[in-house]
Structure 1
Amino acid sequence: MADPVNEGAREHFDVDQDFITYLNGECLEWAWMDYESLQRTLKAQGEPLHSMVVEQRPGLFAAAPVFISELQLRQMREVIAAVEEVAGKPEPHSPLGVFYGYDFHLNEQGAHLIEINTNAGGAFLNALLIDSQRGLFLYGSAVFEYRLEHIFIEMFRNEWKLAHGDTPLKVVAILDEKPETQYLYPEFLLAKQMFERAGIAAHIADLTELQVREDGLYCGGDRIDLVYNRLTDFDLQQYPSIRAAWKNKQIVLTPNPSHYRHYADKRRLVLFSDAAALREQGVSQTSIDALLKGVPRTRLVQAQDAEQWWAERKDWFFKPVSGYGSKGTYRGDKLTKRVFDEIMQSDYVAQRLALPGERKVCAENSEPQMLKYDVRCYVYDGHIQLIAARLYQGQTTNFRTPGGGFALVRAVC
């Protein structure tokens, strides 16, 4: 199959970003989602996963890929490497934390790190999407050199190995609050299938299904070795039994509260965008330059500065310190005075507004429309495993937009 991107289309563009803007601004037939192939891949997973996605979550996968430039890709890598330097190495024999999600807005000014998630969802679903679209030209040589499933299972095994050496990993619990009610529950099923194919018993569990015993944590009669943590109470204050089992080293918990504090607490963005504080910590100038260029200025919100914040609100995006999934986040130009006053009395940070990119989508049975997108790098031990995008309408990401959802990413050389 010929690659339309590299067959003369670029010759009309002198600036790399102009070419990316063109690709994302057109409904190019050769770049549409192959829905038939996706359907076949979903059916191969069996029921109930197929019906869950097709019938109950039609907005899960986007109708078109997102194009990014090599420059934007390089900028994202530089920011990730710089964050890793600032965060430092974990304690010996400690897990590194699976599926860190580095979320970026890409625009004409470059790649801008909006936040880091330490329990980023979607990796298994995006791996399935990539596998279903092998005929398209996608980012990531690793996708083709190895199956992502192999990369993922070795990551979990390494988390266990860091704490227990060569002792085999036998039992995993995929833990969330009422997991069957979660929108991304289908990927819990994909994760369970992956573990079982690797000879590892796996339970998708709510806290009520776990039993704390003197020698550890149990589910369905099995002693749990490793917990794949999808809970959004990042400090586990509401889950003292899980926290105690982790602190007492009865389980390997990944990701865990330590990972959250070092990477995903929104106050870390304040540090990442503060040159003086970074120099004081001895961060290299190379990393400081990457962070100042790639992380929008972020500040703690304090009530005594309310008058200034109100005057400048249109330039900022307000986020709760301990929030997740875009809950409680607000663009300053959309704020009412009532909500603004509530923010001033709460724990918030404000991040300089960095607009997301836009992608034109021609969804079936609807008019072409421009959707916003962000790009998520799934990272383990500082290395990008895969890159995906999320297409959406409105203020923040969602999976309810026709033609939106998780999208393939193509880095254009």
Structure 2
Amino acid sequence: MFVPKTEIATMERIVDAIELAAKLPSYQAQAMSWAPKIAAFDPGPIGALMGYDFHLGRDSPQLIEVNTNAGGAFLNVLLARAQKRCCNASQQSAATTQMLDTFEESVFTMFKQEWQRQSAVAMPNRIAIVDNDPKSQFMFLEFQLARQLLQARGIDTVILDPSELDYVDGKLTAHGKPIDMIYNRLVDFAFEEPDHALLKHAYLEGAVVVTPNPHVHAMLANKHNLTLLSDPQTLRAWGLNDAAAECLEKSVPRTKLVSRDEAAALWRTRRQLFLSQLLVMEAKGSIAVAS
């Protein structure tokens, strides 16, 4: 399918508004109030390959969720390049061609900038792509494509399960080789599982650069934050400009925290709502969400 340029521009404005709101001190204080303790540590990186999911319907794009461990970029660029060969010239644009031609360099630059936000050294020597039992993951092929891209630009890259990591004397290693940076694909966003204890220790001691990290997830991807992003009145009171607040009001479905006491009422209106753990998002138009 072809997404109109106007829709893409609108989605970009929504992303800008979200990230602007997330910089407000009052927003950050509220987000931290329900975040795990580890999220208070902010080593600098802002999150590689962030994902903002949208539903495209009759109205303007509607935000579904924000993902810090988003997948799909590496696979989608292959599909887009294959599709481009079949498109009519009228369906192609210079901007699309440029994005496809520069994808690998853009991704490499992104990882380099994430590294430099925390480290004074110019480049990492070794990056580990980390997920639980990575070979069994649906996106394992994408991990391989990411490794191929980074290795082609001179960075030794490995794909690891967290159990393969060791942390001794302030050094994180895997199979005897040091790990400088981790491309984090875990869904344990606070590193709370026992198998992630060594990674958590190394991260908190600044022994490894992790992207995306628990702080970024707490500020942007925690679904509790949708209750803030869908409250333009509060955002304005906290200092968000009118244009950004209006943009979010149109694009973020009204979201609220719910309690067990509301179960009966929620069940009666379930066809108009999207339920996500302790959150309720009011359906707008034909919004459909997969969690």
Compute the TM-score of the two structures, normalised by the length of structure 2.
Answer: 0.86
Q: CA deviation at 1:92?
A: 8.2
Q: CA deviation at 1:356?
A: 5.5
State the identity as a percent: 32
Q: CA deviation at 1:276?
A: 2.4
Which amino acid in 2 is paired with 1:81? D
SS in 1 for 2:117: helix
Partner of 2:71: 121
SS in 2 for 1:67: coil
The reply on whether 1:160 has 2:90 as its aligned counterpart is no
C-alpha distance in structure 1 between counterparts of 2:93 and 2:259, whole Å: 42
Partner of 2:95: 141
C-alpha distance in structure 1 between counterparts of 2:142 and 2:114, whole Å: 20
Q: Would the alpha carbon gap of residues 113 and 178 (structure 1) be closer, same or farther in structure 2, given more than 3 Å must change? A: same
Partner of 2:283: 353
Task: Report which of the two structures shows the higher radius of gyration computed on alpha carbons.
Answer: 1
Cα deviation digits, residues 36-66 of structure 1 (max 9, x gap): xxxxxxxxxxxxxxxxxxxxxxxxxxxxxx2
Counterparts of 1:31-42 in structure 2 under 5 Å? none
Cα RMSD over matched residues? 2.2
Task: Give the structure with the larger strand fraction.
Answer: 1
Counterparts of 1:166-205 in structure 2 under 5 Å? 166-205=121-160
- Is the CA contact (8 Å cut-off) linking 2:58 and 2:285 kept in structure 1? no
SS in 1 for 2:127: strand
Counterparts of 1:9-408 in structure 2 under 5 Å? 66-88=1-23, 94-135=44-85, 136=87, 137=91, 141=95, 143-144=97-98, 146-238=101-193, 239-320=196-277, 348-354=278-284, 396=290
Partner of 1:62: none
Query: Which has the higher mean CA deviation after the structures are superposed, 70-79 or 210-219?
Result: 70-79
Unaligned regions of 5+ residues in structure 2, if any?
A: 29-40
C-alpha distance in structure 2 between counterparts of 1:234 and 1:93, whole Å: 15
- Is the CA contact (8 Å cut-off) linking 1:203 and 1:219 kept in structure 2? no
Which amino acid in 2 is paired with 1:69? P
SS in 1 for 2:256: strand
Q: CA deviation at 1:279?
A: 2.0
C-alpha distance in structure 1 between counterparts of 2:42 and 2:268, whole Å: 48
Q: CA deviation at 1:177?
A: 0.0
Q: CA deviation at 1:224?
A: 0.6
- Is the CA contact (8 Å cut-off) linking 2:22 and 2:219 kept in structure 1? yes
Q: CA deviation at 1:235?
A: 1.0
Which amino acid in 1 is paired with 2:290? T
SS in 2 for 1:283: coil
C-alpha distance in structure 1 between counterparts of 2:237 and 2:198, whole Å: 38
Which amino acid in 1 is paired with 2:80? I
- Is the CA contact (8 Å cut-off) linking 2:165 and 2:198 kept in structure 1? no
C-alpha distance in structure 2 between counterparts of 1:209 and 1:139, whole Å: 45
Which amino acid in 2 is paired with 1:208? S
Task: Give the structure with the larger helix fraction.
Answer: 2
- Is the CA contact (8 Å cut-off) linking 2:42 and 2:215 kept in structure 1? no
C-alpha distance in structure 2 between counterparts of 1:178 and 1:268, whole Å: 30
- Is the CA contact (8 Å cut-off) linking 1:75 and 1:294 kept in structure 2? no
Cα deviation digits, residues 158-195 of structure 1 (max 9, x gap): 11111123432110000000000001100111111111
SS in 2 for 1:110: coil
Compute the TM-score of the two structures, normalised by the length of structure 1.
Answer: 0.61
- Is the CA contact (8 Å cut-off) linking 1:105 and 1:355 kept in structure 2? no
Which amino acid in 1 is paired with 2:49? F
- Is the CA contact (8 Å cut-off) linking 1:270 and 1:298 kept in structure 2? yes
Which amino acid in 2 is paired with 1:289? E
Partner of 1:53: none
Cα deviation digits, residues 233-277 of structure 1 (max 9, x gap): 111111221111111100000001101101111111110001222
Q: Would the alpha carbon gap of residues 296 and 140 (structure 1) be closer, same or farther in structure 2, given more than 3 Å must change? A: farther
